[in-house]
Chains A and B, each alone.
Chain A
Amino acid sequence: DIQMTQSPSTLSAAVGDRVTITCRASQSISTWLAWYQQKPGNAPKLLIYEASSLESGVPSRFSGSGSGTEFTLTISSLQPDDFATYYCQHYNSYSQPFGPGTKVETK
């Protein structure tokens, strides 16, 4: 089965910072990669699908890129509402694993 990894596991940043999170797949997944944001006590929220497509209603400061085995989620200018945990996920397959998550915390 395909395994997903993320780095870093924790990221300390300040409001206004540019933030980049990396997700890697153990084998090529084309662009079948989604990014989710989760805040404590809440369900995850879809941000990006097909590696780089922005979900409706998601601010344009979020962007995704990559294909094959390496992907990135970028927040161009971190806002107070963006402190959360971010997960990547391979989908559209018989197995749909999530990455272990990246917590974005206040510096």
Chain B
Amino acid sequence: EVHLLESGGGLVKPGGSLRLSCAASGFTFTRNSMNWVRQAPGKGLEWVSSIDSTSNYIYYADSLKGRFTISRDNAHNSLYLHMNSLRAEDTAVYYCARDGPAVAMDYWGPGTLVTVSS
């Protein structure tokens, strides 16, 4: 069974940094592109970033302006999101999601909450 579990969320001050992790299991991690999607409290879904299976193709939402970095460790079936210069508007639940065979996001983790506040 496919399983994704995010960790690393928490309370951080404006301007601070945080690294989110996503542990994957139940599938061959090296075969799938992966994504981060976030959702601010009471708001809609926002695509954050995607990375292909070999880390050769990486994409970000324009709104992030270089503050976030996605990476993966195929040896440890893990996906990461490094977040710098955090702002109040980055407060959200962050989900990792797998690109399935049809490329759409077919499995999602339960999410991890990031709160940026002084």
B47's contact among A32, A38, A46, A97, by CB below 8 Å, is which? A97
Specify which chain A residues have a CB less than 8 angstroms from the CB of B80 in the assembled complex: none
Interchain CB contact under 8 A, A43 and B46: no
Q: Chain A: which residue is nearest B57 at the CB level?
A: A94
In the complex, whether B11 has a CB less than 8 A from a CB of chain A is: no
Q: How far is the CA of A83 from the CA of B7 in the complex (A)?
A: 29
**In-complex Cβ contact of A96 among B35, B100, B108 (8 A):** B35
Judged by DSSP, the binding face of B is: strand
Q: Which residues of A contact B104 (CB under 8 A)?
A: 34, 46, 49-50, 55, 89, 91
CA of A90 to CA of B91, assembled, Å? 24
Chain B residue contacts of A94, Cβ below 8 A:
59
**Given the known A-B contacts A43-B111, A44-B108, are A49 and B102 also in contact in the complex, defined by CB atoms under 8 Å?**
yes
Q: Would you call B109 an interface residue if the criterion is a C-beta within 8 Å of the partner chain's C-beta atoms?
A: yes
Complex contact B62–A1 (CB within 8 A)? yes
Q: Are the C-beta atoms of A38 and B45 separated by less than 8 Å? A: yes
Nearest opposing residue in chain A for B59, CB measure: A94
Mask of B88-118 contacts with A, CB within 8 angstroms, 1/0: 0000000101011011111011110000000
Q: Do the beta carbons of A98 and B106 come within 8 Å of each other? A: no
State whether A43 and B109 are in contact (beta carbons under 8 Å apart), knowing that A1-B62, A95-B59 are contacts in the complex.
yes
Q: 8 Å CB contacts to B: which residues of A32-53?
A: 32, 34, 36, 38, 42-46, 49-50, 53
Interface size, A (range): 20 to 34
- With both beta carbons as reference points, the residue of chain B lying nearest to A34 in the complex is identified as B104
Q: Are A43 and B61 in contact (CB under 8 A)?
A: no
Residues of A within 8 A of B (CB): 1, 32, 34, 36, 38, 42-46, 49-50, 53, 55, 85, 87, 89, 91-92, 94-101
- Contacts from B to A (Cβ < 8 Å): 35, 37, 44-47, 50, 59, 61-62, 95, 97, 99-100, 102-106, 108-111
